[in-house]
């Protein structure tokens, strides 16, 4: 019976990458920083595979990459305010090393969107003015992060009952349990 919720959650994730303006297009990514400090940022969901691997893009010099090199445990949070649907994901992040895949994704990024990965100075460097950022011409710091979910939690607020379901991956299948919301 909880399969319908898993299917719904999966559909929403796919719509996040396909449907313009879908609330799951941008997700909150939690990483663990130095001294176990929690760190959050917004990222765009770029790819979702049928076996539920999620991919986001970033600058390889960003702090989230340094965090992931120390600790690859992540959290993802998505929320649709119209459907009152929240999806929480816990899992492991893997920085993509496959050069062919990186090259293919990079070549598919429109030129004017490449600026996010070609700043002369690293993200978080101090500048005097937002217009004074310098860009590289022949180099980039494009990086991809694959996220492999281990636990997923679906929560929908509705009448007469809120619905909260935990999905946990066990030997490649997802075991589901209803929870008190
Ligand atoms: C709407 C929105 C979408 C964003 N998408 C991305 C993204 O896809 N990848 C990314 O690295 N940063 C993205 N950012 C910026 C991050 O939230 C973050 O501020 C930046 O990457 C610096 O991260 P760091 O603290 O890990 O260095 C986005 C910010 C906003 C407001």
Bridge partners of 52, per DSSP, are: none
Give the total number of structural domains in the chain. 1
Cα–ligand 1 centroid distance for 32 (angstroms): 16
CB atoms within 10 A of CB 167: 22
The domain containing residue 150 runs over which residues?
Answer: 3-179
Which residue has the least CA distance to atom 12 on ligand 1?
43
C-alpha 50 – ligand 1 centre gap (Å): 25
**29 pairs with which residues across the strands?**
41, 76
List, for residues 57-115, the tens digit of each pLDDT value. 999 999 999 999 999 999 999 999 999 999 999 999 999 999 999 999 999 999 999 99
- Rounded Cα gap, residues 139 and 61, in angstroms: 13
Residue nearest to atom 7 of ligand 1 (CA): 43
Q: What is the Cα–Cα distance from 49 to 60, expressed in whole angstroms?
A: 23
The answer to whether the beta carbons of residues 125 and 28 sit under 8 Å apart is no
Q: Which residues line ligand 1 (CB under 6 A)?
A: 26, 41-44, 56-59, 62-64, 123-124
Which residue has the least CA distance to atom 3 on ligand 1?
A: 43
What CATH number is given to the structural domain containing 66?
A: 2.30.110.10
Distance CA 31, CA 54 (A): 15
Query: Is residue 94 helix, strand or coil?
Result: strand
Residue 164 bridge partners (DSSP) = 155, 179
- Rounded to two decimals, the pTM is 0.96
Rounded Cα distance, 58 and 77, in Å: 17
Distance 114 CA to ligand 1 centre (A): 14
List the structure tokens of 45.
């969901």
Ligand 1 centre from 167 Cα, in Å? 28
57 pairs with which residues across the strands?
144
Going by pLDDT thresholds of 50, 70 and 90, the confidence category of residue 2 is: low
Q: Kindly report the CA angle at 118 between 116 and 121, in degrees rounded to 5?
A: 100
- Give 13-61 pLDDT, tens digit per residue: 999 999 999 999 999 999 998 899 999 999 999 999 999 999 999 999 9
């Amino acid at each position: 019976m909880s399969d319908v919720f898993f299917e719904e959650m999966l559909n929403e994730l796919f719509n996040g990458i396909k449907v313009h303006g879908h609330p799951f297009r941008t997700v909150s990514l939690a990483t663990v920083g130095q001294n176990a400090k929690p760190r959050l940022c917004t990222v765009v969901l770029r790819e979702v595979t049928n076996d539920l691997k999620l991919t986001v893009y970033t600058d390889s010099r960003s702090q989230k990459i340094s965090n992931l090199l120390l600790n690859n445990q992540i959290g993802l949070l998505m929320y649709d305010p119209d459907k009152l649907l929240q999806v929480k994901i816990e899992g492991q992040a893997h920085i993509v090393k496959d050069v062919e895949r990186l090259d293919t994704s990079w070549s598919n990024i429109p030129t004017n969107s490449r600026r996010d990965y070609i700043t002369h100075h690293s993200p978080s460097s101090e500048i005097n003015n937002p217009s004074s950022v310098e860009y590289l011409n022949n180099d980039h710091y494009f990086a991809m992060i694959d996220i492999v979910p281990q636990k997923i939690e679906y929560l929908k607020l509705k009448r007469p009952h809120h619905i909260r379901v935990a999905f946990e991956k066990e030997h490649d299948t997802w075991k589901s349990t209803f929870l008190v919301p």
